[in-house]
Amino acid sequence: MTKQEFLSGLETALSGEVSQQVFLENMQYYRGYIEDELRKGRSEGEVLEELGSPRLIARTIIDAAEAEEEAETGRSGFSGGFGRGAEAGSQYGPDTGSRGGYEGGQGSPQSFRRFGMGTSGCLILALVLMIALFFGVHFVIASVFRLVYAFPGLVILGIIVYIISSRRNGRR
């Protein structure tokens, strides 16, 4: 693949998928990056091999632009890989696999959007779970201390039972 083929592939994959500003910024960035690396003495083949597939790069740019738009508008909805229909899978073809492993796969940000949770929703859920865990552990520890305080004889009885059972197990 040549520099021109790479840039043409990137242009085709991004065209109509992102805003004109995002399109121009990324085309300028990759054109400049390749030229800078060539000036450093690297071969065109090395640079393009390092960059990888222009369609995969475009998919990443598109996903990032969508996530940024979602964050700006505050919308979060059901998408997770189903948003563009079957034509999206054929557009990005074999370089991205079936897209199932990349977009909407288990653990990816897209899989959380299926449930209407964007990044902020995930952070809030994590915070709520951490608070619940803290109070749960606190409740168990406090309950044990209350029991010991209310019935100090149980501690002594427990120690005696433990000593007797450990001695019995030691004789066998």
Mean pLDDT value across residues 77-90: 43
- Strand ranges inside the chain, DSSP E: none
pLDDT (mean) for 48-69: 90
Residue 103 CA from chain centroid, whole number? 10
Per-residue pLDDT tens for 146-167?
877 788 787 788 889 989 988 8
Q: How confident is the model at residue 123 (pLDDT cuts 50, 70, 90)?
A: confident
Q: Which residues contact 96 (CB under 8 A, 6 or more apart)?
A: 53, 55, 56, 59, 102
Q: What is the pLDDT of residues 60-73, one digit of tens each?
A: 999 988 888 888 77
Q: How far apart are CA 131 and CA 137, in angstroms?
A: 10
- Whether the model clears a pTM of 0.85, i.e. scores above it, the answer is no
Q: Count of CB atoms within 10 A of residue 117's CB?
A: 16
Asked whether 13 and 84 are in contact (CB, 8 A), the reply is: no
pLDDT score of 26? 92
**pLDDT value of position 166:** 87
Q: What is the pLDDT of residue 122?
A: 76
d(CA 99, CA 157): 63
pLDDT at 36 over 90: yes
Cα gap 38→72, rounded to integer Å: 37
Cβ atoms < 10 Å from Cβ of 23: 19
State the average pLDDT for the chain. Answer: 76
pLDDT at 101: 40
Among 35-44, 70-79, 110-119, 126-135, which is the least confidently predicted range?
Answer: 110-119
Look at residue 131 and tell me whether its pLDDT is greater than 50. Answer: yes
CB-based burial, 25-43: b 16+ in 10 Å, e otherwise: ebeeebeeebeebeeeeee
Q: How confident is the model at residue 171 (pLDDT cuts 50, 70, 90)?
A: low
Please report which confidence band the pLDDT of residue 76 belongs to, taking 50, 70 and 90 as the band edges.
low
